[in-house]
Structure 1
Amino acid sequence: MKRSKRLQVVLDLAERKRKQADQWLSQAQGKVQQGEGTLAQLQGYYTDYANNFYQVGASGISPGQIHTHQAFMQKLRVAVEQQENALRIDREQLERVTAHWQSAYQHFKSVEMLVDKLKGQESKEADRQLQKELDERSQLIRPPLI
């Protein structure tokens, strides 16, 4: 069996690992994008609620409303902090997945180049063998005597 055919199994495995890494990378990127969107929404909601409350508060509000507002704003701040932490973790995970993807892609390309090189060598060897056989046959054929 030719070396290139034997290495084809390794290439197929490397390609499967690369495709798996592609999927993980895509999922990690999607998770970061989703987290960024959620954070932006929370921050926007926090800003809008605070501005709205201050506008309404200018006309006078009760101490109970102030307490309720402060409690809600605190919950929003906690939610923003939690989302920022989750986003930081997701970004770190994305960095690790990106490094894994680069490694898998590099390995796949290396094996692919090796298989291509071996196929080229095997093709040249087959051409040389064919030429050798043709040369040997041409020497065996005797020209007719005139």
Structure 2
Amino acid sequence: MNSRARQLQPAVEQARQRSEDALLKLAAQQQLLARAEHQLGELRRYRQEYAESGAGALSVAALLNRQTFIERIDQAIVQQTAEIARQVRQLEQVRDHWKRSHARESALDSVVAQHLEHERRAEDRHEQAEVDERQQHRRPR
């Protein structure tokens, strides 16, 4: 590895670590969103079941309590929907951060690869020059 590629190696490793960290944060945020969506589904299912189960004859007080409880579930659904919207926005931010980190890692990898290729070609030219020089000295005069 030539000196320039060696000099870039700490930056490459740092970029790789940042990209990996960003990817872990992305996965964690996706899990948070999935959990929030699951919880919303559970709230909706619970509301549906609760609303359907009260078809029997109830007193006025029981009907009012039931209605109040359904309204509280509806409020929880609205809050959970807002939470999902917040989680989606957060996911987009985390995804954008990962994309930028990954792009930087890829760019640095590309630069190092170019330096290594340049070094390889320089070594090939040097070796060819040595072979050519030896061939000149071996020829009879």
TM-score by length of 1: 0.88
Q: Is it true that 1:9 corresponds to 2:6 in the alignment?
A: no
Larger radius of gyration, structure 1 or 2?
A: 1
Mapped to 1, the partners of 2:7 and 2:49 lie a distance apart of 64
Q: Report the residue type matching 1:88 in the other structure.
A: A
Q: Is it true that 1:70 corresponds to 2:67 in the alignment?
A: yes
Query: In structure 2, the residue corresponding to 1:11 is in which secondary structure?
Result: helix
Mapped to 2, the partners of 1:128 and 1:9 lie a distance apart of 29
Q: Is it true that 1:28 corresponds to 2:29 in the alignment?
A: yes
Q: Report the residue type matching 1:92 in the other structure.
A: R
| Aligned residue number for residue 44 of structure 2 | 43
Q: Is it true that 1:92 corresponds to 2:80 in the alignment?
A: no
Mapped to 1, the partners of 2:109 and 2:81 lie a distance apart of 41
Render the CA deviation track for 1:66-110: whole Å, top value 9, x for unaligned.
121022112111211111111110000001111111111111111
| Aligned residue number for residue 121 of structure 2 | 124
Mapped to 2, the partners of 1:137 and 1:31 lie a distance apart of 68
Displacement of 1:127 = 1.0
Q: Report the residue type matching 1:69 in the other structure.
A: R
Mapped to 2, the partners of 1:50 and 1:32 lie a distance apart of 27
Mapped to 2, the partners of 1:100 and 1:142 lie a distance apart of 63
Render the CA deviation track for 1:18-43: whole Å, top value 9, x for unaligned.
10111011011111111110000001
Displacement of 1:130 = 1.5
TM-score by length of 2: 0.91
| Aligned residue number for residue 102 of structure 1 | 99
Between the two proteins, the alignment pairs up a number of residues equal to 140
Query: In structure 1, the residue corresponding to 2:58 is in which secondary structure?
Result: coil
Unaligned runs of 5+ in 2: none
Instruction: State the Cα RMSD in Å.
Output: 1.5
Mapped to 2, the partners of 1:30 and 1:85 lie a distance apart of 17
Displacement of 1:141 = 4.3
Mapped to 2, the partners of 1:9 and 1:139 lie a distance apart of 44
Mapped to 2, the partners of 1:21 and 1:130 lie a distance apart of 44
Mapped to 1, the partners of 2:115 and 2:34 lie a distance apart of 43
Q: Report the residue type matching 1:96 in the other structure.
A: Q
Unaligned runs of 5+ in 1: none
Mapped to 2, the partners of 1:142 and 1:76 lie a distance apart of 96
Query: In structure 1, the residue corresponding to 2:45 is in which secondary structure?
Result: helix
